[in-house]
Amino acid sequence: MQISARGDYAVRAALSLATAYPSLLSTQAIAAEQDMPRKFLEAVLADLRRAGIVRAQRGAEGGYTLARPPREVTVGAVLRAVEGPLAGVRGLRPEETQYEGSAQNLPGLWVAVRAAVRRVVDEVSLAEIVSGRLPAHVRKLTALPDAWEPR
């Protein structure tokens, strides 16, 4: 799975908002805290607003806040808001793929890959990341001997 800059920025912005919840944060404050370009952040926040993940308030005291408590917002929801579906194969959903011959069973693997990604990003809330208390099954994955090693 490849997380784009847009996805990374969206999750980081959502974490800033989770930390401040229910207070409002300006784009300038988020951009400064997370060291990201303000214009790009504004586009990301617009995607999150359209998806119902954040609310915007205009005015001198305006800014952004999460639309729901941080414990109710998953990383998967944030990523989907800015990236679309989490797993795709040549622009298709894994269950839509079809192959012949020796590759005929490959769709099952693609579906399993998507399920594995979902098991992490859809089961971790912003509140859990901010608090450092990831679910046990996620912590267990990070403790595997080669988890932090590049391949």
CA distances 64 to 33, 93, 113, 115, Å, are: 14, 32, 34, 32
Average pLDDT on 98-127 reads 96
C-beta of residue 3 within 8 angstroms of C-beta of residue 79 = yes
Please name the residue that has the structure tokens 């979902």.
118
- pTM given for the model: 0.91
Q: How far apart are CA 42 and CA 18, in angstroms?
A: 17
- 3-state DSSP assignment of residue 6: helix
Average pLDDT on 40-44 reads 96
**pLDDT per residue as tens digits for the range 14-35:** 999 999 999 999 999 999 999 9
Domains and CATH numbers, the chain: 5-142 (1.10.10.10)
